[in-house]
Amino acid sequence: MFTHRLDCRIKKLKNKRYDAVVCGAGIAGISSAYYLMQAGLKHILLIDQGAPLSLTSDKSTECFRNWWAGPDSTMVCFMNRSIDLMEQHARESQNRFLLNPHGYLFATSSRDMIDVFEKQGKEAEEFGAGKFRNNPSNSDYIRNPNTGYISELDGSDLITGQSNIQEIFPYLNEKTVAVLHARRCGSMSAQQLGMYLFEEAKRNGCEFKTAYMKGVDTKAGAVNSVIIENNGVEEQIESDAVVLCGGPHINATLKSMNVELPILVEKHVKISLPDTLSVVPRSAPLMIWADAIKLNWSTEESEELEQFSETKWLLQEFPAGVHGRPVGEGNQVLMYWTYDCESSERPSFPLEWNEYLPEVTLRGMAHMIPGLKQYLDPMPKPYVDGGYYTKTPENRPLIGPLDIKGAFICGAFSGFGIMSACASGELISKHVTNGILPSYSKAFAPSRFSDSNYLAEIKTWDMNGQL
């Protein structure tokens, strides 16, 4: 167990004791602080060495979904709760963070995938995502409403037949033979949601300080104070509870307490381009191509790429999953493809990416939405941005107590940190305040990685829910 040695160089805040110190002011940390105050705690300190939300990317897909693969209903229940809470905040804030339930649209040109889509829809219904509907005609399909930020639609709709699909989604590849529209899904502004929760937490008395956690001081095996540092000045913050929300830096924070958990960070990079020709309707859902793709090069381009080892890989088959959506009030279209994700124990900034990534991503999206080919020559300068997914082996979060009494973690949110922020903040607040825990809490407890049976079980899982 780590005990930080106090000495005369550490400034002690006199007559000030906090109910909890939250380390990390990304959206998970801000949500944790907000819900701790909602749970009745009065004195919360939120710290971060950077500005609040500085690693909560506004160029992520900024989406939400209750659409999750198994092996059980855990993630669906968790996300249903988070969406319930987001809808509540949308009502309270007049939808300040632009909640938009336009859905996720999975598309395929392979007839073999029709049965797969049906199986996924029925499985999702069993897990609690809503009713699966196999629509024999377009008249049975309910289109997204043009207005409103809370949709009554849930479950999923399977549409087959090229002419049926072209009637509803004319911008998709004309060879598309099936689409599966998951309905309790959509998009939002991550920055605006985070700032709304941050401002509400501060209004209720939460304090923010620019600093990073250096360690904790323990007494009788329990947290007694938190040591923070800013510009070489250390402070001792008296508190019985510390919540670690370090995002991609969580391993460094855990190391300061001699705690080890199986966490890796995975780099993800996205692009956005101006859709000046209005190829993608602004009302379109998030679109995901469910088939592997070979990029469409001309004969001359293929011959040139074949000549060099540095470019030959561009001729290979790329995995399924390229996806994108219209974003914001202007004409931007966001595009993302996880064909080349690097994992490591710690993040490296600034982010670097392969020079071909923007064009590869655009070409992948143009396979699904052929009208985007018009932007290939010349390709407009893209906005490229990204961040790190912080992941456990089975791609489930870490929310709950650590072995040190009074120490908690709320992290490892992979690619679902924004959509799960509200439910994760609520859950960690229940752990800290000894509240009644929901059914999914045990599945996210850090202690699960001390269970050899669980470690063996997750090796048999064939899905991790990542898009």
pLDDT digits (tens, 9 = 90+) for 87-124: 999 999 999 999 999 999 999 999 999 999 999 999 99
Q: Is the peptide bond before 378 cis (omega within 30 degrees of 0)?
A: yes
Q: Which tens digits make up the pLDDT trace of 53-68?
A: 988 765 568 999 999 9
**Which range, of 53-57, 129-133, 261-265, 302-306, averages the lowest pLDDT?**
53-57
Read off the pLDDT band of 462 (50, 70, 90).
Answer: confident
Q: What is the pLDDT of residue 57?
A: 62
Q: What is the pLDDT of residue 221?
A: 94
The yes or no reply on domain 102-186+265-388 and CATH 2.60.40.10 is no
Q: What is the pLDDT of residue 12?
A: 63
Q: Average pLDDT for residues 265-294, to the nearest whole number?
A: 97
Strand-pair partners of 292:
none
CA dihedral 298, 300, 305, 306 (to 10 degrees): 110
Q: Which tens digits make up the pLDDT trace of 294-338?
A: 999 999 999 999 999 999 999 999 999 999 999 988 999 999 999
Which is it for strands 317-318 and 293-294: parallel, antiparallel or unpaired?
A: antiparallel
Give CA angle at 177 (174, 183), nearest 5°.
105
Query: What is the pTM assigned to this prediction?
Result: 0.95
Q: What topology does CATH give the domain 10-59+191-262+393-458?
A: FAD/NAD(P)-binding domain (3.50.50)
Residue 5 has pLDDT above 50, yes or no: no
* Separation of alpha carbons 212 and 230, rounded Å: 7
* Separation of alpha carbons 133 and 343, rounded Å: 38
**Which range, of 12-16, 43-47, 403-407, 450-454, averages the lowest pLDDT?**
12-16
Domain residue spans of the chain: 10-59+191-262+393-458, 102-186+265-388
What is the length of the chain?
A: 467
Q: Residues 424, 32: contact at Cβ < 8 Å?
A: yes
* Separation of alpha carbons 101 and 64, rounded Å: 9
Read off the pLDDT band of 8 (50, 70, 90).
Answer: very low
* 138-145 CB contacts, 8 Å cutoff, 24+ apart: 138/164, 138/167, 138/168, 141/168, 141/181, 143/168, 144/101, 144/102, 144/103, 144/283, 144/285
Helices (H), 52-94: 74-92
